[in-house]
Amino acid sequence: MSNYIITTSSPADLTNEFLNERNIPYVSFTFELNNETYKDDLGKTISADAFYAAMRKGASTKTSQVNAEAYVNFFTPFLEKGLDIIHIELSSGLSGSINSARIAKEILLETFPNRKIALIDSLSASAGLGLLVDKASELQNEGYAYLDLVNYLETNKLKLNHWFYSTDLSYYVKGGRISSTAGFVGSILSLCPVLNVDDNGKLIPKFKVIGKKRAINKVVEQMMDLAKDGINYNGKCFISHADCIEDAKTVASKIEANFPLLNGKVEIFNVGSTIGSHTGPGTLALFFFGENR
């Protein structure tokens, strides 16, 4: 049995059941919905359906990164049990939370000088972060030693591809991802921007396509072009969606039809309240491993 634990944060956008089965604790970000503050607890307090229904009705949203004190409180019980920690965190290109975790690490190692805390800046988000966490769990179960797993994650995290689109540009305008002019024109023309996450862990617009059907085909094409070993890809594939489950099922069906060696079925998750506060409803994201991004 390994003497370390893998941890992550709620923007991994997995389910509580998924994480509990793998013994992966997570620290919760917080968000505001109409000026009421909630923990992002992966849908236990507010379901994804209720969250996006509120957004569609015009609810205001805001997110907060995790502070150092919260990380200290989160990590301490594991260290007290004599466990080392590998914490896989949301991209530093999207949040400053990992900096809070670094402060917490410095504080904790003064109290627990014989323990180790590895902080992995995933440079990933949503179920892309989740896919990296899942891979770490698999390797831990295969018997990877602590440092071997840390080295694997640092070496391979930029092989994790994120491709996504949105049918509602208003939230990307609010977040500064696209200009207000581009958002207005895009809404008139039914443009769906296709974006990815780059090597700095930031969202980058890559293509502009007209209509959701073309956007769906585009993200599938990206996987066919970029997945490790092409259509012979034998890794896992995750999808996350913001209140567009039928689109997620369509993409999953196309992936399963084109990748016969896929490791299991495509797994579909909700975009959680932390990420969803910025993307809004109508966003779909596809995650897989390639040779690079």
Which structural domains are found in the chain, ordered by start? 4-157 (3.40.50.10170), 159-289 (3.30.1180.10)
Helices (H) and strands (E) in the chain, counts: 11, 13
Give me the percent of the chain exceeding a pLDDT of 70. 94
Q: Say which residues have a Cβ less than 8 Å from residue 24's Cβ, sequence separation at least 6.
A: 5, 6, 7, 8, 133, 137
The two beta strands, 26-27 and 4-9, are parallel
pTM: 0.95
33 pLDDT higher than 80:
yes
Whole-number Å distance between alpha carbons of 258 and 235? 13
Give pLDDT, residue 170. Answer: 75
Phi, psi of 286 (to 5 degrees): -120, 135
Q: Where are the beta strands (DSSP E) in 123-255?
A: 160-166, 191-197, 203-210, 238-241
pLDDT higher at 205 or 19:
19
- Secondary structure of 233-287 in the HEC alphabet? CCCCCEEEECCCHHHHHHHHHHHHHHCCCCCCCCEEEECCHHHHHHHCCCEEEEE
Give the tokens for residue 247.
Answer: 């689109």
- Which of 273, 240, 281, 245 has the alpha carbon at shortest distance from 34? 273
Q: Which residues have CB under 8 Å from 157's CB, separation 6+? A: 120, 122, 123, 124, 132
Specify the pLDDT at position 171: 73
Quick check: 184 pLDDT over 60? no
Whole-Å CA distances, 63 to 95, 113, 149: 10, 33, 31
- Kindly state the tokens that stand for 95: 């949040």
Give the mean pLDDT of 20-41: 97
For all residues of the chain together, what is the average pLDDT?
A: 95
- Encode pLDDT of 54-75 as tens digits: 999 999 999 999 999 999 999 9
Q: Could you give the CA distance from residue 234 to residue 227 in angstroms, rounded to a whole number? A: 9
Read off the pLDDT of residues 224-233 as tens digits, 9 standing for 90 and up.
Answer: 999 999 999 9
Residue 182 confidence class, pLDDT cut points 50, 70, 90 = low
Q: Give residue 1's pLDDT.
A: 52
Residue 134 burial (C-beta neighbours within 10 Å; 0-12, 13-18, 19+): buried
Residue 287 tokens, joined: 């995650």
- Strand bridging mode 238-241 / 84-89: unpaired
Residue-wise pLDDT tens digits, 36-47: 999 999 999 999
SS3 of residue 207 by DSSP = strand
pLDDT at 185 over 80: no
Residue among 146, 35, 33 nearest 84 (CA): 146
- pLDDT at residue 186, rounded to an integer: 63
Helix (H, G, I), strand (E, B) or coil at 204: strand
SS3 content of the chain, % helix, strand, coil (to 5): 45, 25, 30
pLDDT per residue as tens digits for the range 108-158: 999 999 999 999 999 999 999 999 999 999 999 999 999 999 999 999 999
